[in-house]
Amino acid sequence: MIGTPKQLIIKMLELDQDKIYEIKEYKKKRTRNQNSYYWELLNQLSKKLRIAPEELHFELIKKSCPFSEFLVPDEADLRAIEYYEERGKITKNNKLFKIIRVYVGSSKLDTVEMGILLDNLIEECKLQGIETMTPDELAKLRTLEKEV
């Protein structure tokens, strides 16, 4: 349920008291228009720089998106993790571990985080002479659409 604290308290009093629940702040997800514009610009920049879109996307994610770092056994299979990079190795209790940084992918970003990613892409596009939306057009883009 999404609501104000008062609305949530009323709803919480009706819940099964033997279960455990999680409450977290609601953040509006990225929007379709933000996402479409991002990929349109990314593909233009990719062509201009002659870099694969996936590679360019990962570089922007590393520059823009939230991340967490973890220790994983050196032999761990990491193919299920979409966006990560190794940051080094460490030995702990005579066992070798990788230090990995795992980035939040663009599909999991809220509107603010997606805005940061898009802003960084726009800066790169401007450096390459690729036309982008004006700040006013971007502001409208961020407010008028439905969530993805």
pLDDT in tens, 7-29: 878 888 888 888 887 777 666 66
Torsion of CA 110, 78, 101, 24, to 10 degrees: 40
CB 114 within 8 A of CB 42: no
Distances (CA, A) of 127 to 28, 35, 72, 96: 30, 21, 38, 42
Flag whether pLDDT at 42 surpasses 90.
Answer: yes
What's the CA gap between 114 and 142, in Å, rounded? 9
pLDDT at 123: 95
Q: 85-136, pLDDT tens digit by residue?
A: 999 999 999 999 999 999 999 999 988 899 899 999 999 999 999 999 877 7
Angle between the 135-143 and 111-127 helix axes, to the nearest 10 degrees?
A: 150
Classified as helix, coil or strand, 141 is helix
pLDDT reading at 5 higher than 90: no
Residue from 105, 91, 129, 138 nearest 29 by CA: 105
Domain edges within the chain? 28-65+109-148, 67-103
Number of neighbouring beta carbons within 10 Å of residue 66:
13
Distance from C-alpha of 57 to C-alpha of 39, rounded to nearest angstrom: 9
The three-class DSSP label of residue 109 is coil
How much is the pTM?
Answer: 0.71
**Alpha helices (runs of H) in the chain, residue ranges in sequence order:** 5-13, 32-49, 53-64, 111-127, 135-143
